[in-house]
Structures are given as structure tokens and as C-alpha cells.
Amino acid sequence: MQVQARPHSLDHAIEAIRVRFGSQALTRVAELPPPLPWPSGTPLDRLTGIGGLPKGRLTLLTGTGTSGKLTLALELLAHATREFAHAIVVDQERQFDPWSMLPFQPELDALTVITPPSLEAAGEAASALARAGAGFILLMGEIPEPWLGPLEAGASRSGAVIVAVIDSPGRALAHASSLSLGFARSGWIFERGELIGMTCGALVAKNKLGPPLGASELEIHFTSPLVASVVERESEEQECVSAVV
């Protein structure tokens, strides 16, 4: 027989815990302060609701094919190498190319790339690095469900910024994230018959940080091998306002 706790019984249990352990023993989630933001200097800061990516939380960048998510992740990583002593890539799928970061002018001395031999090893490495206080961790792919709890706990204690880039996350990874942004390519940008960039939409699919702010249209420009930028399109009539240079 299944017994369900009545509301007044739950209230009594909460009050008993507060009497025994103090009034600060229990806190409603709605009363918790939002996580501290890390201003990344990209258009994504405006979409989070707190002015930057959350420290101590997991952010997902999702989207299939050439959707712009990896370009945004590389720009975030480049910014992180200039602001943190340790920016780390956990690349179990061996898809990361450090030379693709050069347009964003990273500080390579602050960058470490780890290629674990398995998903389990990737989860263990990411959790240990978050617990040890890595400033920024970029996950290329999934993390096994048993390691998500230790990863979240370690990041929460150290304040690490964790970003995962994945086409379509599994249920456990999606549930563990505090912020999820979906990307979809909407077109290509040509100049004098030459392909110089692409347009994509960034949609806030999940936001546990602040008020959801919908979507934004972005332009990703590759004007030369050494120059790259991502700009936000405010409207079709207005000029694009550069978010990074």
C-alpha cells in the first residue's frame, strides 16, 4: 500500500528540522541567490538573464550540423584563456582542433586539452578538474550520468564555468544543465560571390538562472584567416552591433 504525505505533515517535518538544526537549515530554491555571472563578451551574455554564463553551473550549447555552436564555444574558450589561469578542454570524441581557435586570439599557455580514452574517464576527469578549481571547462560531448552529480558538486564549490557542446544531449545531461541554448543555421553570408560567414538563431531552451529571454539572431563572420567575429542582429533594418572584435 502506498502512503502519501499530507501537506500539513510535510510542514510539520520542515518546522521540526528548523527547530533542531536552525532556521537556516532549509531554504526554498526560489529564495536562493542567482549564481555569479562570468561576462564572456559574447552575445550569449544577454540571453542568460544574469549578464554572463553562470559560474558553478553547466551550460549546454546544442544544435546539429553547421549551426554555429562550436564557433561560439571556441570564442568562449578563447576569452577564458585570457581571464582564467586554467582553461581546459575535455575531448573524448577527439574533435577539438586548437588551430581553429587562432582567429579568436587565445592565450595558449593557459589552455590544456585532455583526450580521455573512454566516456567514464571523461566524466572522472571533468569532475576532478571542476573540484580542483579549473576556471573554465569545455566538454566536447556527453558525460555519463553517474559523473554528473560529482561534476555539479565540484563546480558549485569551485565556481568553475562549465560549457558542453553537443548535437543532442541525453536526458540526464539536459536535466543537469542550468542553461541550454539551441543553435540552428538560418543562412549563409556572401560578399562578391565569396562565402564569408553564416547566420544562425540562438534559442534559450532552458534557463534556471533568470527570466527566459527568448532568442537572438547572430551573424558569424570569417573575413580572413586571422579575423573572426560574432555579431548580434537587432533587426533587419538596423546595422549589426558587434559584440566581439
Place of cell 548535437: 167
Distance CA 224, CA 211 (A): 37
Distance CA 133, CA 126 (A): 11
Domains and their CATH numbers in the chain: 36-183 (3.40.50.300)
Average confidence (pLDDT) over 104-130: 93
The model's pTM is: 0.79
In tens, the pLDDT along 28-53 reads 544 556 789 999 988 888 889 899 99
pLDDT confidence of 161, banded at 50, 70, 90? very high
pLDDT > 70: percent of the chain: 81
In tens, the pLDDT along 1-18 reads 444 545 567 777 777 777
In tens, the pLDDT along 184-193 reads 999 998 988 8
Please tell me the predicted confidence (pLDDT) of residue 209. 86
Question: For residue 100, how many C-alpha atoms fall within 13 Å in the half-sphere facing its CB?
Answer: 11
Distance CA 61, CA 85 (A): 23
Average pLDDT, the chain: 82
pLDDT confidence of 237, banded at 50, 70, 90? very low
Nearest Cα residue to 183 out of 200, 166, 199: 200
Using DSSP, state whether 80 is helix, strand or coil: helix
- 41 φψ region: left (φ > 0), alpha (ψ -120 to 50), beta (else): left
In tens, the pLDDT along 176-224 reads 999 999 999 999 989 888 888 889 999 999 998 877 668 888 888 875 4
Query: Please, which residues have CB within 8 angstroms of residue 28's CB and are 6 or more apart in sequence?
Result: none
Please tell me the predicted confidence (pLDDT) of residue 5. 47
CA distances from 157 to 45, 127, 134, 136 (A): 22, 12, 11, 14
Q: Which residues pair with 37 in a beta bridge?
A: 54
Please tell me the predicted confidence (pLDDT) of residue 43. 85
Q: Pairing between strand 215-224 and 194-207?
A: antiparallel
Q: Pairing between strand 179-191 and 58-62?
A: parallel
Average confidence (pLDDT) over 79-101: 90
